[in-house]
Structure formats: structure tokens, C-alpha cells
Amino acid sequence: MHAAAKTPHRRRPLIPARWAPYVFISPFFLLFAAFGLFPLLFSVALAFHQWDPVGGVWSMRWVGLDNFAYAIARDDWLRKAMFNTVWIALVSGLPQHLVALPLAWFLHRAFGRWRNAVVGAYFLPFITSTVAISLVFSSLFSKDFGLVNAAFSTLRQVPVLGWLMPGQAIDWSQPGYTKWMISAVVFWRYVGWNTVLYLSAIQTISPELLEAAEIDGASPRQRFLHIVLPLLRPMVFLAVTLSLIGNLQLFEEPFILTGGTGGIDQAGKTAAMHMYAVAFMDGDFGTASAVAWLLFLLIVGATAINKRLLGARA
């Protein structure tokens, strides 16, 4: 399809060119002013107040930096939660992309007609409801009857792989294993999403380019490493940024897998879960807002680093 129309009539544009940018972004900013700015300012203000919502809006009390001081210096559960969050973000995040990239490439070149069905299978976890997930995974990860442990025990029979398998049934609720369980579920949930993103990016690489490389004798691996990856860099940046933001705000999966408690030793409690607990259990919305802004700084820092590493070079 021709991208450019034939020469249009010369008539006065509907929106003068000078104003065009502002008109284009005005829907967002109107909506933001109405529905985004107020919550933003509210939560900034809240971070400096003490507020138990059950007392009504007027029961807020100014406490200055006390909430931040408490969160940084005296809240041991927050420190643990931050550690857990970063741990899970890395352990589930890295495989999400390291697996999704070659997977997308392989799906692109080796599956032909079945490609969409297979991608669909990988994408399903992304749209499965959390209710079903909680029910199913709690039974899959059961110590004595779960399929995961059953799979491990059958794999133990396999010669080489068997040496890597744990010696006995794993109690996944033990603090040493909780984070692994959560990371596995997060990986399961999002690897398909990343695969779809990368696959769509690969689609738009010129097929002639890849064919020419193939004809020149490049192996699939070489084509992947030297053509596909560099061209995919902007999409990788995008996908990793989204992953970072999502993983550092992780709430649903650890919440449902630990029954809302964060598990033994708070091993599965993420920062967002802790925030939620502080707000609704401790009845302390002020500290929860302060923690949210601290987490915000963390995410900004992480995305800045990401931009350095993967971002577009000017």
C-alpha cells in the first residue's frame, strides 16, 4: 500500500502546525490532569502524613519525613521485601528474555503453519486468570502430591539429568524454595508475552536480508547473532523496560502463591505486597505511599541503567 497519498489539496490545515503537537497530546494531558494528577499529588501528600483511611479523609495528620525515616531505617520487612523483589526480578526476568529471544527466532524459521498455534500456547499463561492460577499452582507445587515434585522424581531416573535433580520431594513453602517457586510462575506467565513481542519484531526484518545471509552460508545461529539480535535491539530495550517495571512492581503472583502472607520468613514478600500490607493491615497509608515513592525511585534508577545498556544510541 502506498504510504504517501498523492499530493493533497492545498487547503488550510484543520490544526495549525504550531499547535498540532499540543492538540495531539492534549487527550492524554486532559485525562491525566483529571484522573492522574490528583492521585499523584494525593499520594505525594500522603507520604508526609499519617492516615488510617477508616477514620475518614479528615483524619490525616502531618508527620513530615517520619514515614520515610521509618521505612528506610526501621522497617526490616521492607528491606527483606526489596531484596526479594530484586531477586525475583532478576531470576525470573533474565530467563524471560534469554529464552524468549531464541525461541522467537526458532519459531520464526522452523514452524511454518503451526507457528501461530505454538505461539498461542506460549501466550496463554499471560491471559489466564489469577484465580485459576492460584488454584492450579498450589496443587502443582504440593510437596507430596504435586506434579512438579513428581516430575523431578521421574527425571531422577534419567542418567545425566538425574544428577541435577533434588534428592527428595521439595517442600516449596520452605523459605529456601519460595522465591524459586514464585520466579518459576512469573517466568511461566511472561515468557510467552516477550516471545510475541520479539516474534513481531522479527517479522519486520527484511526476508531478503536473511535469505541473502543464508545463501552466503551463514548458519542459523550466525544469522541470529549477527543479524537478528542487532536489529532487535530497540525491541529488546522496550521489552526489558516493560519487564523491569512489571517485575519491580510484582504483586499478584507472590500474593496468591503465598496466600497473601509472604510465606515463611517473609521469603516471598515483594515490595508491592509489603506496601499493600502496610496500607491495609497496619492501617498506615502514609508509610505505604512513602514506600511507593521509594520503589518508584528504584524503578527509575533501573530503567535509567537499562536505557544506558540497551537504549537507542543517538
Partner 1 sequence: MNTTSPLPVASPPGAAPRGAAPARPRARRREGRGALVAGRVIVLAGAVVMLLPFWFMFVFATHSNSEILSMPPPLWFGSSLGDNLRELLARLPTFWQNLGWSFYVALATTLANLVFCSLAGHAFALLEFAGKERFYAAVMMTMLLPAFLFMVPTALTMSWLGWTNEERALIVPAACSALGIFLMRQYIEAAIPRDLVEAARLDGCSEFAIWWRVVLPLLGPALGTLALITFIGSWNNFISPLVVMRDMDRYTLPLALRSLQGSGQTPWGALCAGAAIAVLPLLVMFALASRRLIDGLTAGAVKH
Partner 2 sequence: MRRRALLPLPLACLAARPALAATGRATLTVAAFPDLDRSARIAIESWAASHPQVDVRLTTRAFDDHHTAMTTAIATGANLPDVMAVDMDYLGKFTQAGGLEDLDAPPYDARAVAPRLARFTLGPATGLGGKLRVLPADIGPGALFYRADLLARAGLVEDDLTRDWASYVAAGVKLKQATGAYLCASAIDLKDILIRAGLADGEGVYFDAAGRPQVTSQRFVQAFTLARAARRAGIDARIAAWSSEWSEGFRRDRVATQMMGSWLAGHLKNWIAPAQSGLWRSAPLPAGVSASWGGSFWAIPVRAERKLLAWDFIRTLCLDRAQQLEAFRRLDAFPALLAAQQDDYVAQPIAYLGGQAARLQWRAASERVPALHVDRYDQVAKAIVEAELDQVLEHDKPIPQALADARAAIERRARRHRAPRAPLLEDRPCTPPPRPRIAAAR
Nearer to partner 2, 61 or 226 (CB): 61
Least distance to partner 1 from the beta carbon of 164, Å?
17
d(CA 205, CA 301): 32
**First-to-final CA distance of the chain:** 30
Least distance to partner 1 from the beta carbon of 191, Å?
8
175 binds partner 2 (CB under 8 A): yes
The candidate with the shortest Cα–Cα distance to 310, out of 232, 193, 227, is 232
Nearer to partner 2, 211 or 282 (CB): 282
168 binds partner 2 (CB under 8 A): no
Nearer to partner 1, 241 or 265 (CB): 241
39 binds partner 2 (CB under 8 A): no
d(CA 50, CA 283): 9
303 binds partner 2 (CB under 8 A): no
d(CA 33, CA 57): 21
Binding to partner 2 (CB under 8 A) within 101-120 occurs at none
Rounded to the nearest 5°, which phi and psi values hold at 61? Answer: -130, 130
| CB-CB contact of 275 with 77 (8 Å) | no
How many Cβ atoms are within 10 Å of 254's Cβ, its own excluded?
28
281 binds partner 2 (CB under 8 A): yes
Among 106, 109, 125, 142, binds partner 2 (CB under 8 A): 142
Supply the DSSP string of 218-273, one letter for each residue: --HHHHIIIIIHHHHHHHHHHHHHHHHHHHHT--HHHHHHTTTTT-GGGTT--HHH
Instruction: Classify strands 61-62 and 49-50 as parallel, antiparallel or unpaired.
Output: antiparallel
Angle in degrees, 0-180, between the axes of helices 76-110 and 115-127, rounded to the nearest 10: 160
Least distance to partner 2 from the beta carbon of 90, Å?
25
- Strand-pair partners of 50: 61
Site stretch for partner 2 (CB under 8 A), options 4-12, 117-125, 253-261, 290-298: 253-261
Site string for partner 2, 194-233 (x = CB under 8 A): ----------------------------------------
Residue 197 interacts with, from partner 2, partner 1, none (CB under 5-8 Å by kind): partner 1
52 binds partner 2 (CB under 8 A): yes
Nearer to partner 1, 29 or 175 (CB): 29
306 binds partner 2 (CB under 8 A): no
Q: How big is the CA angle at 88 (ends 84 and 89), to the nearest 5 degrees?
A: 115
DSSP 111: -
139 binds partner 2 (CB under 8 A): yes
Least distance to partner 1 from the beta carbon of 293, Å?
8
Note the residues at the interface with partner 2 (CB under 8 A).
50, 52-59, 61, 70, 74-76, 138-139, 142-145, 171, 173-175, 259-261, 264-266, 277, 280-284
